Structure 1
Amino acid sequence: MVRGTGRHTLDLLDCALDCCRYAAETYDHIWLVFDKDDFPAGDFDAMGRKCAELSDSSRTFHAIWSNPCFELWPLLHLHYSTASMNAAGCQRQLASALDCELGLTYRKNMGGLYEALASRRGMAARNAAKLAAHHKDLGESRPSDCNPCTRVGEIFEELDPYLTDDLG
């Protein structure tokens, strides 16, 4: 089940817990995908800790965050940078890279983006890992301090056996 809620980070966790509590079936993995945007650093950082606290032998809560925004993940398919950015700057970089590399005009929530970038998923995963290592080398362990950085690739690692790059 996939649900977009547009909720505050900790409200998202409460919503996921309610879904698990009232669902007819049980879920082994609960993926909470959220970005930093303008949320307070403490709330943003707390999600990982709370997900770890809630995980047990029967189910795992995954805190899949992006700092500053989700658009960092598609950007990493095309471009690598360690320069700190805000959401608007990340979106501008993505728009520019899509135009230059693929001749596409970026729009928020645009259709076809997954298909356009699918063959570059390996590059995005390597770039995300490089960013994580970069922040670790700097001694930055709180997600709110790791800008830019994303864990969105973890979903694709898990789902990779079920995905195909032959999307036609």
Structure 2
Amino acid sequence: MAPDKLHQKRKAHAAKELKRREATRSTYKRALVVCEDGKSSATYFKEIRASQRIQTLNMKVIGAGCDPKRLVETAVEEFRKHPDYDYVLCVFDRDSHNHYQNAVASIQQTPLTMKCGRKSAGQADFRAITSEPCFEFWLLLHFTDHTAPIAPSGGRSIGEQTEHLLKQHWPAYHKGSAGIFQHLENRRAAAGQLAAAGLLRASANGTSNPHTHVHEAVDILFSLRGTQ
């Protein structure tokens, strides 16, 4: 085959492949979830992925106790390697992290531009999925509408106190236990309503203790089921 015809054929094939990828890209959405540890929150989201068969969800877990600032940096690095995620969700706790507010602000101020091939495909939804004091507060809302601030008590840290409150309703709970999502699934919708109401209340009262955004991540992941 003549060189010019071969070049034209390759160019046509490349254009066809790009068009195919763009068509495929428009039929489903993808999410990246970055968690700060491999225990409860990571287990919970992995169980959602498995139970709902969400093939377009990628999980990345970084070391326990990781600084939220580093978690956000990891999410950005991962997105830039694969800039086709529609959602980038950073899951971390307030706890006593020094860089918590900086991490939240960084997410709000960092645009992530999706790409399909070399084309820009809009902005990814980059969110801080925070909980205060910790992820267990989201689980607690599956049992009770807890509205009072949570503080260290009885020699327990603020995170341990939250877990203590949860165990009053769910004695068998342990961090990283399997089956968290399945055990609580029938209470999930009600917990989401309480979490949303709690955010409005926290905003009105000028306080963030307690609060959680985990329900937002759950809603996003469930929305992916219909786009695969």
Aligned to 2:214: 152
Indicate the percent of aligned positions where both proteins have the same amino acid: 27
The TM-score with structure 1 as length reference comes to: 0.82
Residue-by-residue CA offset, 1:25-77 (whole Å, 9 max, x unaligned): 6212111000012202xx21222321122135331211100000111111111
Whether 1:71 aligns to 2:136 is: yes
Q: Which whole-Å CA distance do the structure 2 matches of 1:19 and 1:129 have between them?
A: 29
From 97, 100, 110, the equivalent of 1:44 is 100
8 Å Cα contact 1:54-1:60 kept in structure 2: no
Whether 1:29 aligns to 2:94 is: no
Q: Which whole-Å CA distance do the structure 1 matches of 2:190 and 2:212 have between them?
A: 14
Give the number of equivalent residue pairs: 150
Structure of greater Rg: 2
Q: Which whole-Å CA distance do the structure 2 matches of 1:162 and 1:16 have between them?
A: 19
Whether 1:132 aligns to 2:204 is: no
Whether 1:93 aligns to 2:165 is: yes
Aligned to 1:143: none
Aligned to 2:123: 58
Residue-by-residue CA offset, 1:86-114 (whole Å, 9 max, x unaligned): 21111011111113xxxxx1111111110
SS in 2 for 1:30: strand
Residue-by-residue CA offset, 1:97-146 (whole Å, 9 max, x unaligned): 113xxxxx111111111001001111111111121122122133xxxxx1
Which has a greater percent of strand?
2
The TM-score with structure 2 as length reference comes to: 0.61
Give the unaligned 5+ runs of structure 2: 1-57, 113-121, 151-157
SS in 1 for 2:104: helix
